[in-house]
Amino acid sequence: MSGWRGLLLTLVLAAVGSLPAAAESLGDESRGAVLFNRECSVCHRIGPDAENRIGPRLTGLFGRRAGAVPGFEYSKSMARMGNDGLTWTLETLEAYVENPKALISGTRMNYRGLKDAAARADLLAFLRLHSDRPQNIPEAEPTARKTDPDLDAAVLAIKGDRDYGEYLSAECTTCHQRDGTDQGIPSITRWPEEDFVVAMHAYKQRLRPHPVMQMMASRLSNDEIAALAAFFADQD
Amino acid sequence: MTLTRRSFIGTGLATGALLQAPMVGAQGRPRVVVIGGGAGGATMARYLAKDSEGGLDITLVEANPIYTTCFFSNLYLGGFRDFESLQHGYSRLSDMGITVITDTATAVDRAARSVTLAGGQSLIYDRLVLAPGIDFREGSVPGWSLSDQDIMPHAYKAGPQTLLLKAQIEAMPQGGVFAMIAPPNPYRCPPGPYERISMVAHLLKQSNPTAKILLIDPKEKFSKQALFEEGWQTHYPGMIERIGPDFGGASAEVRPATMEVVVDGEAMKVDCCNVIPGQVAGRIAALAGVTDDSGWAPVMPETMASRVDDTVWVLGDASAQGDMPKSGFSANAQAKVAANALRGQLLGSRIFPARYSNTCWSLIAPDDGVKVGASYEPTPEKIASVESFVSQTGEDAALRKATYEESLGWYAGITADIFG
């Protein structure tokens, strides 16, 4: 059975061609365990009896709504994303572990992110072991999993046209307040350019859940996102 | 007849004038006169002033010294907001150098490029921006005319009408009947009548739980229908009855003198009747000769300039632009595109591609908010919808609460964007 599946998978991958090797098998669980101890265990516990510490318990993480562990005090940003419908899947966890701020701008998780794709795959494989039904993850064919949401360095390097950004920003300030007030709708001023860019691309790629933001981001080109970032970076 | 001749002359002059750009007014600065200080007009004036840094002579004419937003006025009816929270002054626009005149425009002479105000003043413009919102179509609801608005209020232009409607609802006898005549398309704020029904139901549920609500509707379908109907079922079971066009909803008549509504030949006594008639562009647009047979003013999708005369720009509800709903959000979005284009035309500043979008939030019950929205782009024919979304039925309470809280943030954001 598994042999057949493996063969089919190979065929599918050969047909698609461009998928990274990491999609085929998630990663190495034992290397993931070592990584967990090194990178995560200062704040997080995992396992049947794990409790919340500085961070929430990570048992049963897959399929869980963001910000949903009872008794844990989440950041406003994390709670908002959970309400908007962010659920932890391979795709969203990978984006979050790679760069937490790409997914949750105001997360309290003080972690720089795990940039190495193979290491992320190992860590996710370990986290998956502690989920309710590890064998069901991913639920769809591996080909359904998006490729790494990594942004090309060239996209991050675009120098934004600030004047164009100012014009485009008028679309943002219909809802987001210019003075940075955070009332029902988050503040978007004084935002480091790179964080802004990755956040907007996370909406554009529909990793972040909010429908209005997904719609607004979907028609912004790379240059336009850079232009907005250049404008908002110096707004206070 | 005169209007036809004038509009012909006006168009001719406009074409000639384009060749002499940039325009220079009497004091050396191009003069822009904006009629209407709502979401379209005030945003336009503010963005022109902010971005031209003194390069334009801007006058804003608005009938009310303090503006009451129609958006969110349903939340006042439901008891979720103070009336004062809907009111905004123009002092911050004045501080930016905009001349704010409290008056009503009564005539536009496009050949002479002048606007006459009710107070007798006359304003000369290089560019005229019309953002007058809506007026009501005569004879739209048989038996009702504007002179009946104190008996059967429309409350579809916020202000004293809004206060009156709320007072009438609160004065209803126990077990009384509230009726609404909903408007035919197109009209201001597509979900507005249905959000209002929800807010009236919420109010009555607390103070008058045996009261009934009769929604008489000429339309087969309405905005966010599945969401509203689900919400009414959940929060106000048995309270709301909708009479659609199949049962006479499109031919209802009202009798203000006897407080009766006649549907399908049957007269019913009601205790409060909210008549929201069919609508047309605010009257000054027709007086300026820029409306067509539909009663709305067709505009260029790239810029919001009138198709009849490109020295006149029409924003918001009054315009016929294509797919965008008539909403404060739309008017605000259109004004920012128009301001960029108009400034470029008069001052040679950079003109960027038009970006339009809209989101309408509605409140169904406490912490039960929903939204619908879309993005748009100009095509040669119209402003066309590109992508859209709408809240789903069966969403969990946390998301609905977050949606409501988001709408509060939006109100604060957009009013700051409009009024400074």
The model's pLDDT over B175-222, given as tens digits with 9 standing for 90+, comes to 999 999 999 999 999 999 999 999 999 999 999 999 999 999 999 999
Above 80 in pLDDT, residue A136?
no
What residue of B is the nearest CA neighbor of A174?
B414
What residue of A is the nearest CA neighbor of B46?
A170
The model's pLDDT over B369-417, given as tens digits with 9 standing for 90+, comes to 999 999 999 999 999 999 999 999 999 999 999 999 999 999 999 999 9
B398 contacts on A by Cβ (under 8 Å) = 82-83
Helix (H, G, I), strand (E, B) or coil at B387: strand
| Residue B365 lies inside a defined structural domain of this protein | no
| Residue B377 lies inside a defined structural domain of this protein | no
B332 contacts on A by Cβ (under 8 Å) = 174
Domain co-membership, A174 together with A99? no
B311: its two tokens: 């020295």
Q: How far is CA B170 from CA A135, B18, B191, B271, in A?
A: 60, 56, 23, 11
| Residue B22 lies inside a defined structural domain of this protein | yes
Domain span at residue A197? 153-233
Percent of chain A clearing pLDDT 70 (strictly above): 81
- The distance of B253 to chain A (nearest Cα, Å) reads 40
Q: Of B22-31, B93-102, B357-366, where does mean pLDDT reach its minimum?
A: B22-31
Above 50 in pLDDT, residue B20?
no
Among residues B275, B297, B315, the one where a domain terminates is: B275
- The residue count of chain A comes to 236
CB B191 within 8 A of CB B223: yes
Contact check, Cβ <8 Å, B389/A163? no
Contact check, Cβ <8 Å, B355/A168? yes
Q: What DSSP character marks residue A38? A: I
A70 contacts on B by Cβ (under 8 Å) = none
B79: its two tokens: 């008891």
| Residue A184 lies inside a defined structural domain of this protein | yes
- Check CB contact of A183 with chain B, cutoff 8 Å: yes
Integer Cα distance of B261 and B253 in angstroms: 6
Above 60 in pLDDT, residue B49?
yes
Nearest to A212, CA basis, from B413, B84, B147, B244: B413
The model's pLDDT over B73-114, given as tens digits with 9 standing for 90+, comes to 999 999 999 999 999 999 999 999 999 999 999 999 999 999
Percent of chain A clearing pLDDT 90 (strictly above): 56
Report how many domains make up chain A: 2
**Given the structure tokens 């409140």, which residue do they identify?**
B363
B190: its two tokens: 């597509």
What residue of B is the nearest CA neighbor of A186?
B409
Q: Select from A175, A214, A235 the residue whose CB has the most chain B CBs within 10 Å, as the one to mutate to test that interface.
A: A175
What residue of B is the nearest CA neighbor of A182?
B409
| Residue A14 lies inside a defined structural domain of this protein | no
B407 contacts on A by Cβ (under 8 Å) = 184
Contact check, Cβ <8 Å, B398/A219? no
A181 contacts on B by Cβ (under 8 Å) = 412
Among residues A97, A124, A144, the one where a domain terminates is: A144
Q: Of A56-65, B34-43, B161-170, B318-327, where does mean pLDDT reach its minimum?
A: A56-65
The model's pLDDT over A155-204, given as tens digits with 9 standing for 90+, comes to 889 999 999 999 999 999 999 988 888 888 988 887 888 889 999 999 99
pLDDT at B316: 98
Domain co-membership, A30 together with A52? yes
B384 contacts on A by Cβ (under 8 Å) = none
Integer Cα distance of A104 and A116 in angstroms: 20
Helix (H, G, I), strand (E, B) or coil at B72: coil
CB hemisphere CA count around B415 (13 angstroms):
18
| Residue B415 lies inside a defined structural domain of this protein | no
Domain co-membership, B331 together with B259? no
CATH number at residue B264: 3.50.50.60
What average pLDDT does range B134-138 have in this prediction? 97
Domain co-membership, B206 together with B324? no
- Check CB contact of A52 with chain B, cutoff 8 Å: no
Contact check, Cβ <8 Å, A183/B408? yes
**Which among A80, A83, A219 has CB closest to B386?**
A219
What residue of A is the nearest CA neighbor of B387?
A215
Q: Interface pTM (ipTM) of the complex?
A: 0.88
Dihedral (Cα; B322, B326, B329, B335), 10-degree rounding: 60
Percent of chain B clearing pLDDT 70 (strictly above): 94
Integer Cα distance of B197 and B214 in angstroms: 9
B241: its two tokens: 């009855």
Residues 6+ apart with CB under 8 A from B65: B89, B90, B102
Averaged pLDDT score across all residues of chain B:
94
Going edge to edge, which strands form the sheet with B356-365?
B356-365, B368-378, B383-390
Integer Cα distance of B40 and A203 in angstroms: 29
Domain span at residue B65? 2-133+282-352
Domain co-membership, A130 together with A228? no
| Residue A8 lies inside a defined structural domain of this protein | no
Above 90 in pLDDT, residue A223?
yes
Among residues A144, A179, A194, the one where a domain terminates is: A144
Chains A and B form CB pairs within 8 A to the count of: 88
Dihedral (Cα; B184, B189, B191, B196), 10-degree rounding: -90
Among residues B352, B373, B392, the one where a domain terminates is: B352
pLDDT at B3: 40
Above 50 in pLDDT, residue B14?
no
Q: Select from A74, A76, A174, A221 the residue whose CB has the most chain B CBs within 10 Å, as the one to mutate to test that interface.
A: A174
CATH number at residue A202: 1.10.760.10
A10 — pLDDT class (breaks 50, 70, 90): very low
B354 contacts on A by Cβ (under 8 Å) = none
Domain co-membership, A67 together with A165? no
Helix B192-207 vs helix B160-170: crossing angle, to nearest 10 = 40
Residues 6+ apart with CB under 8 A from A15: none
Domain co-membership, B142 together with B262? yes
How far the first Cα of chain A sits from its last, in Å, is 60
Nearest to B18, CA basis, from B310, B352, B300: B310
What average pLDDT does range B7-11 have in this prediction? 40
In terms of C-beta density within 10 A (0-12 exposed, 13-18 middle, 19 or more buried), how is residue B176 classed? middle
pLDDT at B276: 98
What residue of A is the nearest CA neighbor of B356?
A171
pLDDT at A134: 63
Of the two residues A1 and B170, the one the predictor is more confident about is B170
